[in-house]
Chains A and B, each alone.
Chain A
């Protein structure tokens, strides 16, 4: 019983982490029908940018004051992720806007590899995993024998607040309305005077900011980062987006928590244990694609080959 509760807690933390990434996948898909496989790397570079900021930009007085260091590295991580995403959109995807759909998809895979290799080559000793600095107090809550690490709590609370804020923004602001209009009918949105380039770049910015924050909190919670964290978590987040119904913000968050729970519970209870927990995620992905390709909240009309 305690084990189950503990795995539920772990699953929710992982779900919160994935929620940071999933929204970027689903929003970009909703607007330009591109599965941005480089989005996981946007998450990863946010993590490294936070590390670099901590190591080389923060004076030691601030380094040791977590309530100053944490917001600074979060902002730095998010800002760098946004920068990378904006450059990527402008120079890689925008020129391919009217190309056959395979072209941007392959480009996305190329950017993914490029960003991993860039960090490997340019971050000092980039091949080796990096210890992430302690920018949040160690500590944990224990009740009924279940341990909830403070960093996990931080991650989940931030995930809920930020994904909620994003949905509020998209559903109520003028630019959010323009985003939804462009996703529903790009031509008619243009007839309303909406500049698609601006809306698309905004979509990349919002998704990247969330991914960057997620990347930093990944380091804070798991203590170690390496250049493959983006790829791994990106794939899980992508599965979560498909499960929730790609294009749907609500679906993305629900899907993220489902995948987080499935992965940790499978690691505990399924044959193969944690070594094969990711297999079950792909089993789910395949089942969803076969039996309910529109996911929980997606629309059938949006699912295209």
Chain B
């Protein structure tokens, strides 16, 4: 196994506030890795820095062995990292189809139409209302569209920030099944989740982020069994 993404000693600050302090983790090719942690732990900040929306104060980010820490966001997407952001961030005044086509913005191959259809097959409600404005959909439906849009660039690494937020248990299950399918098709996934139970059950490796640092790490099933994780994130103890 080789590391597709390696985050080394990453520190990110908003002005004087250091939201991420010396965080390090590795995502191996073909794995699903998840970051769990309390509100404000710095998970979103970490993802936004990997995708180039924020600049690190210290540390490095290697994708496929190359540093991407100071690349512009559009170049990082071009290198193969897609980011499905927290809170969906759809283009609300554009249609479902336009949102999906924007996800494929950098692609020049002729498989885009097929991939749009694949998203519709996966989430039929999107296909039925493909010409409706994205802002008119329910929260869960918007989340499906956001994930579909992120898949449209055919990323090598797909980063998802709380994809189950606001979804019913059935939809959450469907999203997690979809992630498992994507993994089976060879996509590497970095997942940030509040739903620690489902995320740890799915992932190959998990990291617990607390106050901007990784405090625990290990295979998902081991973390699931860890009493500290159970106490802090699964409401036990």
Residues of chain A whose beta carbon lies under 8 Å from any beta carbon of chain B: 174, 177-178, 180-181, 184-185, 187-196
Contact = CB atoms under 8 A, between A and B. Distances in A.
Contacts of A184: 91-94
30 contacts: A177-B94, A177-B101, A177-B102, A177-B105, A178-B105, A180-B93, A180-B94, A181-B94, A181-B102, A184-B93, A185-B91, A187-B73, A187-B85, A187-B89, A188-B85, A188-B89, A190-B52, A190-B73, A190-B74, A191-B77, A191-B89, A192-B103, A192-B105, A192-B106, A192-B153, A193-B74, A193-B153, A194-B74, A194-B102, A195-B72
A188 B93 CA distance: 14
Chain B contact patch, size range: 20 to 34
Given A174-B105, A177-B98, A180-B94, A192 B89 contact: no
Interface in B54-105: 72-74, 77-78, 82-83, 85, 89, 91-94, 98, 101-103, 105
B98 A193 contact: no
Interface string B141-178: 00000000100010000000000000000000000000
Most buried by B among A174, A189, A192: A192
Secondary structure at the A interface, as helix, strand, loop or mixed, is helix
Contacts of A195: 72, 74
A187 B102 contact: no
Contacts of A188: 85, 89, 91
Interface of B: 51-53, 72-74, 77-78, 82-83, 85, 89, 91-94, 98, 101-103, 105-106, 149, 153
A187 B53 contact: yes
Nearest to A187: B53
B146 to A, nearest CB: 10
B135 to A, nearest CB: 10
Contacts of B93: 180, 184
A191 B106 contact: no
Contacts of A187: 53, 73, 85, 89
B119 to A, nearest CB: 15
